[in-house]
A and B are shown apart, each in its own frame.
Chain A
Amino acid sequence: MPLMTARSNLWAFGLRVGLVLGSLAGFGGSAAQAASRLSITGAGATFPYPLYLKWMSEFQKKNTAVELNYQSIGSGGGIRQLLKKTVDYGASDAPMKDDQLKEAKLQIFHFPTVMGAVALTYNIPGVTQSLKITPEIVADLFFGKIYYWDDAKIQTLNPEVKLPHVPTLVVYRADGSGTTAVFTEYLSRVSPTWKEKIGAGTSVKWPVGIGGKGNEGVTGFIKNFPGALGYVELLYAEKNHLPVAQMKNREGNFIKPSSDSVTAAAAAYLKDIPADFRFSLTNAPGKESYPIASFTYLLIYKKNPAAISTTLKEYLNWIYLDGQKLAAELYYAPLPKDLLDRVRTQISQVE
Chain B
Amino acid sequence: MKAMTEVNSVGSARKSFDPIFERGLKFVAILVMSLLILIIFFLYQLAAPAIHEYGWGFMFKSDWNPAKLIFGAYPFIHGTLITSLFALALSVPVSIGTALFLTEIASRQVAAVIGFLVELLAAIPSVVYGLWGLTVLAPRVRVTVQPWLSEHLSFIPGFSGMPYGVGVFSASIVLAIMITPTITSIAREVFRAVPHAQREAALAIGATHSEMIWLSVVRVSWSGVFGAVVLGLGRALGETMAVTMLIGNRNEVANSLFSPAQTMASLIANEYPEATNPLHIGALAYIGLILFGISFIVQGLARRIVNRVANPSGGGA
A210 B260 Cβ-Cβ under 8 A: yes
B250 A203 Cβ-Cβ under 8 A: no
Which residues of chain B are within 8 angstroms of A175 by Cβ–Cβ distance? 269-271, 273-274
In Å, the complex CA distance between A217 and B242 comes to: 12
A213 B249 Cβ-Cβ under 8 A: yes
In Å, the complex CA distance between A217 and B276 comes to: 23
In Å, the complex CA distance between A209 and B262 comes to: 13
A205 B139 Cβ-Cβ under 8 A: no
Of A73-81, A258-266, A294-302, A342-350, which stretch is located at the interface?
A73-81
Nearest CB on A from B223, distance (A): 32
Nearest CB on A from B309, distance (A): 32
In Å, the complex CA distance between A224 and B245 comes to: 13
Contact among B30, B35, B250, B272 with A210 in the assembled complex (CB-CB below 8 Å): B250
Chain A 213-263 residues near chain B, CB threshold 8 A: 213, 217, 220-221, 224-225
A210 and B248 in contact (CB under 8 A), knowing A14-B33, A18-B38, A220-B135? yes
B134 A220 Cβ-Cβ under 8 A: yes
Q: From A1, which residue of chain B is reached at the shortest CB distance? A: B19
Which residues of chain A are within 8 angstroms of B276 by Cβ–Cβ distance? 76, 79-80, 97, 100, 202
Which residues of chain B are within 8 angstroms of A176 by Cβ–Cβ distance? 66, 270-275
B31 A17 Cβ-Cβ under 8 A: yes
A76 B248 Cβ-Cβ under 8 A: no
Chain A 141-198 residues near chain B, CB threshold 8 A: 169, 174-178, 184, 198
Which residues of chain B are within 8 angstroms of A213 by Cβ–Cβ distance? 244-245, 249, 269-270
Chain B 9-40 residues near chain A, CB threshold 8 A: 19, 26-27, 30-31, 33-35, 37-38
Which residues of chain B are within 8 angstroms of A209 by Cβ–Cβ distance? 250, 260
Contact among B26, B66, B67, B251 with A10 in the assembled complex (CB-CB below 8 Å): B26
Contact code string B24-67 (vs A, CB < 8 Å = 1, else 0): 00110011011101100010000000000000000000011111
Chain B's interface: helix, strand, loop or mixed, by majority?
helix
Q: Does B227 contact A (CB under 8 A)?
A: no
Contact code string A1-24 (vs B, CB < 8 Å = 1, else 0): 100000000100110011001100
A200 B67 Cβ-Cβ under 8 A: yes
Which residues of chain B are within 8 angstroms of A220 by Cβ–Cβ distance? 134-135
Q: Does A199 contact B (CB under 8 A)?
A: yes
Q: How many residues of B contact A (CB 8 A)?
A: 43
Q: Does B235 contact A (CB under 8 A)?
A: no
Q: Does B108 contact A (CB under 8 A)?
A: no
A211 B250 Cβ-Cβ under 8 A: yes
B30 A224 Cβ-Cβ under 8 A: no
Q: Does B303 contact A (CB under 8 A)?
A: no
Q: Does A135 contact B (CB under 8 A)?
A: no
Nearest CB on B from A331, distance (A): 22
A199 B164 Cβ-Cβ under 8 A: no
Nearest CB on A from B269, distance (A): 8
Nearest CB on A from B243, distance (A): 11
Nearest CB on B from A142, distance (A): 14
Q: Does B165 contact A (CB under 8 A)?
A: yes
Contact among A73, A203, A210, A221 with B271 in the assembled complex (CB-CB below 8 Å): A203
Q: Does A306 contact B (CB under 8 A)?
A: no
A210 and B164 in contact (CB under 8 A), knowing A21-B38, A100-B276? yes
Which residues of chain A are within 8 angstroms of B33 by Cβ–Cβ distance? 14
A13 and B30 in contact (CB under 8 A), knowing A201-B67, A206-B250? yes
Q: Does A275 contact B (CB under 8 A)?
A: no
A73 B273 Cβ-Cβ under 8 A: yes
Chain A 28-44 residues near chain B, CB threshold 8 A: none
Which residues of chain B are within 8 angstroms of A199 by Cβ–Cβ distance? 65, 67-68
Q: Does B73 contact A (CB under 8 A)?
A: no
Q: From B167, which residue of chain A is reached at the shortest CB distance? A: A210
Which residues of chain A are within 8 angstroms of B260 by Cβ–Cβ distance? 209-211
Which residues of chain A are within 8 angstroms of B269 by Cβ–Cβ distance? 175, 213
Q: Does B166 contact A (CB under 8 A)?
A: yes
Contact among A13, A18, A25, A77 with B274 in the assembled complex (CB-CB below 8 Å): A77
Which residues of chain A are within 8 angstroms of B271 by Cβ–Cβ distance? 175-176, 203
Which residues of chain B are within 8 angstroms of A75 by Cβ–Cβ distance? 274
Q: Does B142 contact A (CB under 8 A)?
A: yes
Q: Which of B166, B260, B276 has the most CB atoms of chain A within a 10 A radius of its CB?
A: B276
A21 and B35 in contact (CB under 8 A), knowing A76-B273, A203-B67? yes
Which residues of chain A are within 8 angstroms of B92 by Cβ–Cβ distance? none
Contact code string B120-148 (vs A, CB < 8 Å = 1, else 0): 00000000000000110011001000000
A14 B248 Cβ-Cβ under 8 A: no
Nearest CB on B from A13, distance (A): 6
Nearest CB on B from A169, distance (A): 7
Q: Does A204 contact B (CB under 8 A)?
A: yes
Which residues of chain B are within 8 angstroms of A204 by Cβ–Cβ distance? 65-67
Q: From A176, which residue of chain B is reached at the shortest CB distance? A: B274
Nearest CB on B from A100, distance (A): 7
Chain B 258-274 residues near chain A, CB threshold 8 A: 260, 262, 266, 269-274
A174 B244 Cβ-Cβ under 8 A: yes
A174 B65 Cβ-Cβ under 8 A: no
Nearest CB on B from A187, distance (A): 11
Which residues of chain B are within 8 angstroms of A225 by Cβ–Cβ distance? 138-139, 142, 165
A202 B66 Cβ-Cβ under 8 A: yes
Q: Which of A13, A203, A212, A220 has the most CB atoms of chain B within a 10 A radius of its CB?
A: A203
A177 B165 Cβ-Cβ under 8 A: no
In Å, the complex CA distance between A220 and B248 comes to: 12
A169 B134 Cβ-Cβ under 8 A: no
Q: List 22 A-B contacts (CB under 8 A).
A: A13-B27, A13-B30, A14-B33, A73-B273, A75-B274, A80-B276, A100-B276, A174-B262, A176-B273, A176-B274, A177-B274, A203-B274, A205-B64, A205-B67, A205-B68, A205-B251, A209-B250, A211-B260, A213-B249, A220-B134, A220-B135, A225-B138
In addition to A202-B276, A204-B66, A225-B139, 10 A-B residue pairs with Cβ atoms within 8 Å of each other are A14-B33, A25-B38, A76-B273, A97-B276, A174-B249, A175-B269, A199-B65, A203-B270, A203-B275, A210-B250
